[in-house]
């Protein structure tokens, strides 16, 4: 199924709802165009006025199995009729153990693991922060420029993508230093991919550890295998090889944030698998439960020795969300991870020549269905063009294609993992038509 636009946008019903929203909803939410969703199925979203859109945002990379997948819906309905809530903090129930066993076995690295359940990605990161400090007895953290780990106070301290997210909220949780990420298109050390000696990791040891931060004070390095909000930045494989060596040298944990990149999005269950990266701690959310709220922190069992009461969540591991996750994982393993790899490769192959075709496209990058298109004012200077990116997103919306931005000037392409090649072709052609216009 493809889009169909019947009214001006927003239509009259959508416009009326937006006016009501403006009076009562927090203005801190970011809405980049006036979509008012009424119902959705698969990769198609219909608004209040009957306009039909192709969703290449997936609820910010959340509805991995598509909107309202019938098997996920059925599992939610069946579980809701049996047990909606019991709180795994205080009691036991079977499907929470089932999911924990499944995730402990899935995470890269053949080591025993334990699982903590929360409600969101930022909660998973907060749990990882606390566990890292508890397990190591160290107070400090390293994170990367461009990173996004959440908006609660601990995860916000790790976040390094946009200063507006921190404006007015200082002091944050202390003990975080940010270092350059392996953003090869904009290498902070002026290297080409061919001349790269992983200076971004060498800088940590030669400069940060030497001058400002003793390594034996660092509990963990928090890192995204593919940066999400930073602009869908894909680092070279050797970046993680060197980072692992550095962490092991100083007894520092690697806490790998797979909230956006995990659960099949990159064509493998975890983006870490592309790089041979074995996390000490991994955080998951977004696509894990097809839209139901669930956050997970998985760690090596030898690290998770904190006592009862050290950390918990009333709603974390909710039975309905857990059941949705179990069904989601089954669908991902059946064929959706494979589909993400195949359709994503097809899209990237078609879009790879865009920098030659369009003078304001600086870079096309991605893994699976986690694809970024970076817009620039000039390909030689690489001056960012966020305004053009935003115009393209708005124009695509009016043509029935839902997209989001990432970073200051990158177009984020993160559709449900169920999309067909026909839908992928529509999206590619629509973006290209907007660029030509």
Q: For residue range 332-385, list pLDDT tens digits in order.
A: 999 999 999 999 999 999 999 999 999 999 999 999 999 999 999 999 999 999
Determine, yes or no, domain membership for 189. yes
- Mean pLDDT over residues 203-219, rounded? 97
CATH number for the domain that contains residue 137: 3.40.640.10
Two tokens, residue 273: 């698998």
Determine, yes or no, domain membership for 161. yes
Residues 6+ positions from 19 with CB-CB distance below 8 Å: none
Determine, yes or no, domain membership for 262. yes
Determine, yes or no, domain membership for 43. no
- Mean pLDDT over residues 207-215, rounded? 97
pLDDT grade for 17, boundaries at 50, 70 and 90: very high
Determine, yes or no, domain membership for 95. yes
**Is residue 63 scored above 90 in pLDDT?**
yes
Mean pLDDT for all residues in the chain: 97
Residue 209's Cβ-side half-sphere holds a number of Cα atoms within 13 Å equal to 17
**Is residue 1 scored above 90 in pLDDT?**
no
Determine, yes or no, domain membership for 51. no
User: Between the CA of residue 227 and those of 136, 223, 234, 267, what are the distances in Å?
Assistant: 26, 8, 7, 16
Q: What is the pLDDT of residues 87-143, one digit of tens each?
A: 999 999 999 999 999 999 999 999 999 999 999 999 999 999 999 999 999 999 999
Closest CA to 75 of 51, 52, 54, 99: 99
- Mean pLDDT over residues 156-168, rounded? 92
pLDDT grade for 292, boundaries at 50, 70 and 90: very high
Return d(Cα 49, Cα 287) in angstroms, integer.
Answer: 28
Two tokens, residue 193: 């991919």
Closest CA to 148 of 132, 170, 165: 165
pLDDT grade for 25, boundaries at 50, 70 and 90: very high
- Predicted pLDDT at 437: 85
% pLDDT > 70, the chain: 100
- pTM for the structure as a whole: 0.96
> Peptide bond preceding 235: is omega within 30 degrees of 0, i.e. cis?
no
Dihedral through CA 417, CA 8, CA 394, CA 51, nearest 10? 0
Q: What is the pLDDT of residues 235-275, one digit of tens each?
A: 999 999 999 999 999 999 999 999 999 999 999 999 999 99
- Predicted pLDDT at 194: 87
**How many domains, the chain?**
1
Structural domain span for residue 306: 73-332
Determine, yes or no, domain membership for 376. no
Determine, yes or no, domain membership for 5. no
Return d(Cα 119, Cα 111) in angstroms, integer.
Answer: 25
**Is residue 193 scored above 90 in pLDDT?**
no
Q: Are strands 401-402 and 37-41 parallel, antiparallel or unpaired?
A: unpaired
Round to the nearest angstrom and report the end-to-end CA distance of the chain: 25
- Predicted pLDDT at 108: 96
Residues 6+ positions from 388 with CB-CB distance below 8 Å: 360, 375, 377, 409
pLDDT grade for 162, boundaries at 50, 70 and 90: confident
């Amino acid at each position: 199924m493809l889009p169909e636009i019947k009214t001006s946008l927003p239509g009259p019903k959508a416009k009326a709802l937006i006016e009501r929203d403006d009076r009562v909803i927090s203005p801190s939410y970011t809405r980049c165009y006036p979509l008012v969703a009424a119902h959705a199925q698969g990769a198609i979203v219909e608004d209040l006025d009957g306009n039909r859109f192709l969703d290449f945002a997936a609820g910010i990379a959340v509805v991995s199995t598509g909107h309202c997948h019938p098997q996920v819906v059925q599992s939610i309905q069946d579980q809701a009729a049996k047990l909606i809530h019991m709180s795994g903090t205080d009691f036991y129930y079977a499907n929470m153990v089932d999911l924990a066993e499944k995730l402990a076995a899935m995470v890269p690295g053949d080591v025993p693991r334990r699982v903590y359940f929360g409600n969101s990605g930022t909660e998973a990161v907060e749990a990882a922060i606390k566990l890292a400090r508890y397990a190591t007895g160290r107070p400090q953290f390293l994170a990367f420029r461009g990173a996004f780990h959440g908006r609660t106070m601990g995860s916000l301290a790790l976040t390094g993508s946009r200063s507006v997210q921190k404006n007015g909220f200082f002091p944050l949780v202390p003990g975080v230093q940010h270092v350059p990420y392996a953003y090869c298109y904009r290498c902070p050390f002026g290297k080409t991919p061919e001349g790269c000696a992983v200076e971004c990791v060498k800088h940590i040891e030669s400069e940060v550890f030497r001058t400002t931060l003793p390594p034996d004070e660092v509990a963990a390095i928090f890192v995204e295998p593919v940066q999400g909000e930073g602009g869908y930045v894909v680092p070279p494989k050797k970046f993680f090889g060197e980072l692992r060596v550095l962490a092991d040298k100083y007894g520092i944990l690697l806490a790998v944030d797979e909230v956006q990149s995990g659960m099949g999005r990159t064509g493998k269950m975890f983006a870490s698998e592309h790089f041979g990266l074995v996390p000490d701690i991994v955080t998951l959310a977004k696509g894990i439960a097809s839209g139901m709220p669930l956050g997970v922190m998985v760690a090596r069992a030898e690290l998770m020795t904190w006592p009862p009461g050290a950390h918990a969540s009333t709603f974390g591991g909710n039975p309905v969300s857990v059941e949705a996750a179990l069904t989601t994982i089954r669908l991902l393993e059946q064929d959706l991870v494979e589909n993400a790899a195949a359709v994503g490769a097809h899209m990237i192959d078609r879009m790879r020549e865009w920098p030659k075709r369009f003078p304001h496209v600086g870079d096309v990058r991605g893994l699976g269905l986690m694809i970024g298109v970076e817009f620039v004012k000039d390909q030689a200077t690489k001056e960012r063009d966020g305004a053009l990116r935003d115009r393209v997103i708005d124009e695509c919306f009016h043509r029935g294609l839902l997209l989001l931005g990432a970073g200051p000037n990158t177009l984020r392409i993160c559709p449900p993992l169920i999309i067909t090649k026909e839908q992928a072709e529509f999206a590619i052609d629509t973006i290209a038509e907007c660029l030509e216009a």
